Structure 1
């Protein structure tokens, strides 16, 4: 399904969910349909061995509906999670064995897509540094020679700015948006038929969990959203999606309202949902072999090493992230400012929009049973919103 069709479907379900609360209850009205559910696969994998990972991923793909019908003959964009600095490890382990997507998982995904007949594979990330992308990936442990030796052409793009592209692509948020009505992105997120979020199974200090949906947070270019001016060489953060103290560059769609709370636990979950609206996720794959709890990177003091020894995959991002949240020992249906969530629960917000269910009882888990996969992270945010 082309991106335009996916966004049209998002608009239909989002619009219905947003309109439902203003309709007076009536016995003659049908109840709003339950958000959709899709199977989520879990596999045990304790080592970063590309062949072992590939074998487990192929098994998971078979169990959740198959990979070939999704990607054959298509351009597939894969958004990885290289948040922070690829050269900065923690607790004696490198970044790729703690808080970033591991290159062995990247290699396995490339082989998986190649075997399934993808026409083109494009690995994407938005970094916060000036170094050319390929050398930076090598520093992260990526074997670019092996990755590009596949029958399917493999490309790499840093989407923090335009890079090799000429113009930004504007994406309107279906249903009008939570923070912004539209966003401008690198066209790589438009020029693909299939979009994969290759994330990490870990906590996030502000969002509670970083999984497939939160990985989408990084698709917005910091050249436009890192400061209140257009700077193609920016290495800033995306503070406007956290604190909202300033808006994006002139000429970029501005915020819907300046009177909404300027607090990260309010803004971050809403940007997560907006980002999934503008670039719907076709497949989530989560690296849970080795990871961290307590936050998303080494700038968070409470970070601890975790070794769940898991791979998780699913076609519906909300369902997949909800099961992953349950694997981490949390309730994905937790009320606001409870469980791992310091503020709003973005999984519940997405479910309310009809994007997928966050109720584990409605989600079929295939492969390793949830009870056997459960690996409690034991972290909860030290501060919560009132």
Structure 2
């Protein structure tokens, strides 16, 4: 396993130094990519009833409602984190609907987003996911239903499977500024630090363990399988992160950056804390939630009883906590609810944990919602 020296970022041309990187949560260029000040949190809700051509128009409208993204992305290297969660059976259909319409990032949303980013002047877009497969990443994306040739034709698009070092030479050790709940630092693939702007693109879904999953929970997948997966430590490891999830194994494992001490064996407490730590260590500059179609009842077909949903909306914001809070409210839950409430029946609320670290607000009265009014956008998921 190759690691960088303590607190050292990768010495790539486009890489920010550590001081600049840690400041990303407050200021980047002329915009505030992470609006930690609740008065500045703004989330756009726009209508989008189907995939295909309508998605690009909806994305553009959402960004216009936020005041535009040109100043954020022009001339910049963008890292776009998608969600390609899957079971050991690969990508399977849910109630005869394809994975992109139900539980993973749809290729049309990526195409639309990249088209808008390049139109706004982005220099490079690197699409990343810790994908548990040794095959070329392009093969996995094709299996997921993406049109990879068209995607690559849009501009300088790079595809990087961050399950291990990938094309990098060493991991970057990145500290959690507050000291963290369970982790004081993480070892990350270079793609998560060698960029100017970081975007999280997710689905509007329930999650068996964390209640809801959107742009914050999406960051669980930035941890490399090679170091945090079930086959760690191995650059060839392709197993998932069961050992990060299952409490019965937690105390027998020393993860990179894990804080000393005894931690709860309750995944409903541990995973939300890890999410909050990850959102602090890797600030999200642009949070986007696909609520065109999705599922309720869990995060994927391995969960059991699922239902198809069709909220018909897209969300976008410059703050992941605020964006996920609005998404949670659209699902019919209280984004500030505690453990045992409808949205978080068996877990701590990772949105609240993020708020406690100053990462953004969960109080809807402190979030400026633009576009479709929240009451008209609500599409209640099961309690």
Give the TM-score of the pair, scaled to structure 1.
0.87
The 8 Å contact of residues 313 and 377 in structure 2, kept in 1 or not, is answered as yes
The 8 Å contact of residues 96 and 102 in structure 1, kept in 2 or not, is answered as yes
Q: Say which is worse superposed, 2-11 or 280-289, in terms of deviation.
A: 2-11
Aligned ranges 1:233-252 → 2 under 5 Å: 233-244=236-247, 245-246=249-250
* Counterpart position of 1:122: 126
* Counterpart position of 1:55: 57
Shift of 1:236: 1.8
* Counterpart position of 2:4: none
The 8 Å contact of residues 41 and 64 in structure 1, kept in 2 or not, is answered as yes
The 8 Å contact of residues 225 and 232 in structure 2, kept in 1 or not, is answered as no
* Counterpart position of 1:346: 350
Aligned residues: 356
Given candidates 277, 282, 292, the residue that maps to 1:279 is 282
Q: How far apart, CA to CA, are the structure 2 residues paired with 1:354 and 1:361? A: 17
Shift of 1:257: 3.3
Q: Secondary structure at the match of 1:271?
A: helix
Shift of 1:58: 0.8
Given candidates 311, 320, 323, the residue that maps to 2:323 is 320
Is it true that 1:213 corresponds to 2:216 in the alignment?
yes
Give per-residue Cα distances to partners, 1:355-381, cap 9 Å, x unaligned: 1110111111111111110000114xx
* Counterpart position of 1:168: 171
Q: How far apart, CA to CA, are the structure 2 residues paired with 1:180 and 1:332? A: 24
The 8 Å contact of residues 35 and 352 in structure 1, kept in 2 or not, is answered as no
The 8 Å contact of residues 292 and 305 in structure 1, kept in 2 or not, is answered as yes
Q: How far apart, CA to CA, are the structure 2 residues paired with 1:99 and 1:367? A: 25
The 8 Å contact of residues 328 and 343 in structure 2, kept in 1 or not, is answered as no
Given candidates 20, 34, 37, the residue that maps to 1:5 is 20
The 8 Å contact of residues 231 and 237 in structure 2, kept in 1 or not, is answered as no
* Counterpart position of 1:99: 103
Q: Say which is worse superposed, 78-87 or 354-363, in terms of deviation.
A: 78-87
Give per-residue Cα distances to partners, 1:71-102, cap 9 Å, x unaligned: 00000010001111553111111111100111
Q: How far apart, CA to CA, are the structure 1 residues paired with 2:20 and 2:319? A: 16
Given candidates 115, 138, 146, the residue that maps to 2:150 is 146
Q: How far apart, CA to CA, are the structure 2 residues paired with 1:206 and 1:89? A: 22
Given candidates 319, 327, 332, the residue that maps to 1:329 is 332
The 8 Å contact of residues 39 and 365 in structure 1, kept in 2 or not, is answered as yes
* Counterpart position of 2:12: none
Question: CA 1:89–1:258 in 2, change beyond 3 Å: closer, same or farther?
Answer: farther
* Counterpart position of 1:307: 310
* Counterpart position of 1:134: 138
Q: How far apart, CA to CA, are the structure 2 residues paired with 1:7 and 1:99? A: 32
Give per-residue Cα distances to partners, 1:36-66, cap 9 Å, x unaligned: 54110011111101x3111111111011121
Is it true that 1:81 corresponds to 2:83 in the alignment?
yes
Structure 1 segments of 4+ aligned residues over 6 angstroms from their partners:
247-250
Segments of 5+ residues of structure 1 without an aligned counterpart are 13-32, 380-386
Q: How far apart, CA to CA, are the structure 2 residues paired with 1:278 and 1:287? A: 24
Q: How far apart, CA to CA, are the structure 1 residues paired with 2:113 and 2:25? A: 27
The 8 Å contact of residues 40 and 315 in structure 1, kept in 2 or not, is answered as yes
* Counterpart position of 2:375: 371
Segments of 5+ residues of structure 2 without an aligned counterpart are 1-14, 28-35
The 8 Å contact of residues 39 and 367 in structure 2, kept in 1 or not, is answered as no
Shift of 1:277: 1.1
Shift of 1:270: 0.4
* Counterpart position of 2:46: 43
Shift of 1:261: 0.7
* Counterpart position of 1:384: none
Give the TM-score of the pair, scaled to structure 2.
0.88
* Counterpart position of 1:270: 273
Q: How far apart, CA to CA, are the structure 1 residues paired with 2:314 and 2:112? A: 12
The 8 Å contact of residues 287 and 318 in structure 2, kept in 1 or not, is answered as yes
Is it true that 1:193 corresponds to 2:196 in the alignment?
yes
Give per-residue Cα distances to partners, 1:285-318, cap 9 Å, x unaligned: 1111110001111110122111111111000111
Q: Secondary structure at the match of 1:212?
A: coil
Q: How far apart, CA to CA, are the structure 1 residues paired with 2:38 and 2:164? A: 35
Q: How far apart, CA to CA, are the structure 1 residues paired with 2:19 and 2:50? A: 39
Q: How far apart, CA to CA, are the structure 2 residues paired with 1:225 and 1:189? A: 16
